[in-house]
Amino acid sequence: MSEAKGVWQKLSKIDVSAHIEKKAGLSYLSWAWAWGVLMENFPEANYVMLPNEVHADGSMTVHCSLTIGDVTRTMWLPVMDMRNKSIVSPSSTDINKAQMRCLTKCIAMFGLGHYIYAGEDLPASEPEKTYPEWVAEHQGVINTIKLGIANADLLAAAKAWFELDNEVKEALWRAPTKGGCFSVKEREAIRSSEFRDAYYGEKDSDNAH
C-alpha cells in the first residue's frame, strides 16, 4: 500500500460529524480540532504558508502546503468576508483566518472531513457569464497553460494562470462537467508547489534586481 493511500484510509474513516460547526449556512471544521486529530495520527506532519497572492483589485488568495511523510498537498483560498466575498486590502486578522481555514482544507485533502468540501465549502455566486463564454473569452490563456504544462514549461503556464483574476480562475476551474477545460494531469500540475515556485521564483528574482 502506498503511503498516500495509507494516510487517506486512516484519516477519511474518522467521524467528524460531532465537530462540524456552521456559520452563515456553511459547514466547516475548527482548524485547531483538525490539527489536533492530525497530530494524534501523524505527529511528523508539518505545513508551510506559501506567499500570498495579491490580485489587481487588491484582494488576496492565501496558499498552504501540508506534508505527511513523502506526500505534499497544496490548497489555496481567497480571503473573504462573512458573505463569502473577496476582501479588498484585507487586514492581518482576515489573512490569518483565511490561512487557518486553508490549512483545514489541506488536511481534508488527506482525508479528514473531505466530504464536507465535496461541493466546495464556500459555494461560488452565480457567474455573470456561462462556462462556454468564459472559455471562449480566455481560450488563448487556456491554450498557453495547456501547452506550457505539456512542454514542461511551467513558468509560461504559471504566468498565464496566476495573472488571471480570481473570478476568471474560479470560472475556468468550476466547470459544469468534472475536470472542466483542464485534464486531471493539468489540474495536478496547477496545484503543485513546482507550479507556484516557477512563478514566484521569477518574481522574487526580478524584485532582487
- 3-22 residue pLDDT tens: 888 899 899 888 887 777 76
Write down the pLDDT at residue 52: 93
State the average pLDDT for the chain. Answer: 82
d(CA 145, CA 98): 27
Which residues have CB under 8 Å from 198's CB, separation 6+? Answer: 154, 155, 157, 158
Write down the pLDDT at residue 169: 80
For 165, other C-beta atoms within 10 Å of its C-beta total: 13
Q: Specify the pTM.
A: 0.57
Q: What is the mean pLDDT of residues 94-120?
A: 85
- Can you read off the three cell numbers belonging to residue 19? 465537530
Write down the pLDDT at residue 123: 36
Q: Which residues of 129-160 are buried (b: 16+ CB within 10 A; e: fewer)?
A: eebeebbeebeebbebbbebbeeeebebbbbb
Which of the four pLDDT bands, split at 50, 70 and 90, describes residue 153?
A: very high
- Can you read off the three cell numbers belonging to residue 184? 486531471
In the chain, where the domains are located: 3-117, 131-208
- Can you read off the three cell numbers belonging to residue 182? 483542464
Per the model's pLDDT, the better-predicted residue between 190 and 167 turns out to be 190
- Which of 3.40.50, 1.10.150, 3.90.380, 3.30.160 would CATH assign to domain 3-117? 3.30.160
